[in-house]
């Protein structure tokens, strides 16, 4: 059981790293955005999929870590 959880943890962490690294970081930070707030940016379909995938993988990583902690 611990071996399965360890392998799952490695797979989830590698996928999470890949998904985070391929996301677009084209957010413009200038002085006007700090004073007046940031403008609403709409996400395209692919960016939404990556965003939701990041959230799901993060939740799975946390759940797997907690199970691993309580079993070990």
What pLDDT does 37 receive?
A: 54
The answer to whether the pTM exceeds 0.85 is no
Q: With 0-12 CB in 10 A as exposed, 13-18 as middle and 19+ as buried, what is 12?
A: buried
pLDDT bucket at 23, cuts 50 / 70 / 90: confident
Greatest distance between any 2 Cα atoms in the chain: 53
pLDDT at 67 over 90: yes
pLDDT bucket at 47, cuts 50 / 70 / 90: confident
pLDDT at 4 over 90: yes
């Amino acid at each position: 059981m611990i071996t399965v959880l360890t392998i799952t943890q490695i797979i989830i962490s590698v996928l999470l790293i890949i998904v985070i690294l391929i996301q677009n970081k084209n957010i413009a930070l200038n002085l006007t955005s700090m004073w007046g707030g940031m403008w609403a940016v709409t996400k395209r379909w692919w960016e939404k999929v990556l965003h939701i995938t990041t959230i799901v993988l993060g939740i799975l990583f946390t759940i797997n870590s907690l199970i691993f902690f309580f079993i070990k």
